[in-house]
Amino acid sequence: MSPSRLQFQLDAQASGSRARATTFRTLHGTIQSPLFMPVGTQATVKAQTQETLHESGSQILLANTYHLLLRPGPEVFKKLGGIHKFMRWPGSVLTDSGGYQIFSLPHSREMTEKGAVFQSYVDGQRILLSPELSIQMQRAIGSDIMMVLDQCIPSTADEQAASAALQITRRWAARSLAAREDSPQSMFGIVQGALYPQLRRESAEGLMELDFDGFAIGGLAVGEEKNEREDVCELTAALLPSDRPRYLMGVGTPLDVLEAVHRGVDMFDCIIPTQVAKRGTAFTSRGIVELRRSVYKFSEDRLDPSCTCPVCATHTRAYLHHLTKTQEPLGWTLVGQHNIHFYHQLMREVRQSILEDRFLPLYKERREILPIEDVDHPVTPPKRTSTKVEHVGDYELCGDPPTIRHSATARIVCTTPQLDATTESQIIQHLRLPADSPPLVVWDTHLSAAATALGVILLYEAEAAKGPVRPLHLVSFSDDLSPLRLALHHKRHFPYLRHGAADTLIRRDVWESRYCVGLKWTLVQDNAGEGPAPDVVVESTREPLAGEGSS
């Protein structure tokens, strides 16, 4: 391999651990690792300003090529001179290749040696995402570090599928590198191979024959167990050259990151710090704090007394609790700002401990504290009173016959798996297309206790029993799984949930029927991603959001 464009330098290597501290240079500055990269999917990190991101010590932001390709589009980056100018970000930017998003699209994509064809959620256009298009787009974005287009598969894929994906990823890697042409941007290869050590080795060796400036470990954090992930991470990191950055994609919680640093990884990205901030989950030096708990209603404490971020310098837990309960955007902003600062602070402390060769004790101490929940205010298990009311989140079971009720508003959740006649006939009409038609996409805008979704599924099964029907993809959106979780505990009262689809959905975010081939149900939580565009939208009885009220 030629020398990395990143002027990589190994600063220190911890004793009794594979943890290391490194320094390298991108087109926009000097980077010190280990480091965490906040995710700016659409050229903005959710609910954060570039100013606070910079002040918290963010060195590199990750941007998503897939989303930016669709909106604002390469032409805007070309006209405005790249993402740094576009979003006024003085630091570095890493772009992914778009592969992950394409391969997590539930359908509407076709894979060939050329690339993956998918349909734009913006204008419905069909687009071939090839290695060349991905790199062209990343060049237009003007990121400091580009990623090769890889074929992502579930980490639980079988060996044959994993091997095939690896082969194509190797060929696409070479094409990606060629497509860089004379750009001064750096490029990382991505090691695949699912959970098969031999495939991971084969993938790493293949990529190391090419002139990459760094290497990523892909295909993890996509369904495997925690210990499986850690084993494969450790094994793969050890295969990689010591003179290039190592990046574990899409990982993870502060604890996950700490574990991977220990296993020799330098770089991380994850949506977790801003995603969980929206529901009031904060990472602190005393473990995880769930700010929506009423135990914080009167708390004049700082969120994390050991934290140096502006949020902890300014606000009380009582105010953050209030903002979370009322779902005010400022709550999302402030808790997210703290969480990002917390990740960076953890990485800075880890780096300092490596430089001073005291990483191992720090690691052992922190791995105990990081995952603890609300250590100072442990959750008391709910008392079972004689009235037998049971709770999950903000929902409770009550009445006779039992219903599920939103505690604050007293609104009853729908538990009747029936569609109205109009929707039903609309779906039936759509299903009458030939079986090889593209799937009918049905959006269930509010999962709630899954009654409406089960209505759709039962209707499909009834129609499929009568004769050929086209495939159906049901997408349920939810920002709170509590009513469904509660209902699943009481199937005796809600017999429609004996179907089993909802159990699978809640565990894996996706359910596919084994009997009606072509019937699929996916879950989109907290607007975390976009489903395919709908042909039919079913309206469910929706509970009001807290704070919505009738003001």
Catalytic site residue 376?
A: no
Query: Closest separation between CB of residue 462 and a copy of itself, Å?
Result: 37
Catalytic site residue 269?
A: yes
User: Per rule CB under 8 A, is residue 547 in the interface with a copy of itself?
Assistant: yes
User: Per rule CB under 8 A, is residue 330 in the interface with a copy of itself?
Assistant: yes
CB nearer to a copy of itself: give 66 or 172. Answer: 66
- Residues in contact with a copy of itself, total (CB under 8 A)? 60
Interface with a copy of itself by CB under 8 A: which range of 26-34, 65-73, 161-169, 370-378? 65-73
User: Per rule CB under 8 A, is residue 71 in the interface with a copy of itself?
Assistant: yes
Question: CB 9: neighbour CB atoms within 10 A?
Answer: 13
Residue 389 DSSP symbol: -
For residue 124, say whether it is annotated as part of any ligand binding site: no
**What backbone torsions phi and psi does residue 206 show, to the nearest 5 degrees?**
-60, -45
Query: Closest separation between CB of residue 87 and a copy of itself, Å?
Result: 6
In one letter, which amino acid is 184? P
Please pick, from the candidates 8, 188, 319, 342, the single residue that binds a copy of itself as defined by CB under 8 A. Answer: 319
User: Per rule CB under 8 A, is residue 298 in the interface with a copy of itself?
Assistant: yes
Beta bridge partners of 189: 215
Q: Whole-angstrom Cα distance, residue 65 to residue 98?
A: 5
CB nearer to a copy of itself: give 297 or 358. Answer: 297
Whether 210 contacts 174, CB under 8 Å: yes
Q: If you count them, how many residues does the chain have?
A: 551
Q: Could you say which of 144, 269, 304, 444 is catalytic?
A: 269
Please pick, from the candidates 22, 33, 101, 281, the single residue that binds a copy of itself as defined by CB under 8 A. Answer: 101
- Exposure string for 145-154, b = 16+ CB within 10 A, e = fewer: bbbbbbbbbe
Looking at 380-517, which runs of residues are DSSP E strands? 390-392, 395-398, 403-406, 440-444, 472-478, 510-512
CB nearer to a copy of itself: give 12 or 105. Answer: 105
For residue 16, say whether it is annotated as part of any ligand binding site: no
3-state secondary structure 340-381: HHHHHHHHHHHHHHHHCCCHHHHHHHHHHHCCCECCCCCCCC
Q: Whole-angstrom Cα distance, residue 268 to residue 347?
A: 10
User: Per rule CB under 8 A, is residue 64 in the interface with a copy of itself?
Assistant: yes
Q: Could you say which of 96, 213, 266, 444 is catalytic?
A: 96
Whether 433 contacts 468, CB under 8 Å: no
Provide DSSP, 231-247: HHHHHHHHHS-TTS-EE
User: Per rule CB under 8 A, is residue 106 in the interface with a copy of itself?
Assistant: yes
Please pick, from the candidates 32, 326, 403, 426, the single residue that binds a copy of itself as defined by CB under 8 A. Answer: 326
Tokens of 187: 């490029």
For residue 97, say whether it is annotated as part of any ligand binding site: yes
Site for a copy of itself in 380-409 (CB under 8 A): 407-409
User: Per rule CB under 8 A, is residue 121 in the interface with a copy of itself?
Assistant: yes
For residue 219, say whether it is annotated as part of any ligand binding site: yes
Distances 538 to 121, 415, 431, 482, 545 between C-alpha atoms, Å? 19, 15, 15, 20, 19
For residue 192, say whether it is annotated as part of any ligand binding site: yes
Interface with a copy of itself by CB under 8 A: which range of 28-36, 54-62, 315-323, 507-515? 315-323
Catalytic residues: 96, 269
**Site residues for a copy of itself per CB under 8 A:** 41-44, 46-49, 64, 66-67, 70-72, 75-76, 79-80, 86-88, 101, 104-106, 121-124, 297-298, 300, 314-316, 318-319, 321-323, 325-326, 328-334, 407-410, 544, 546-551
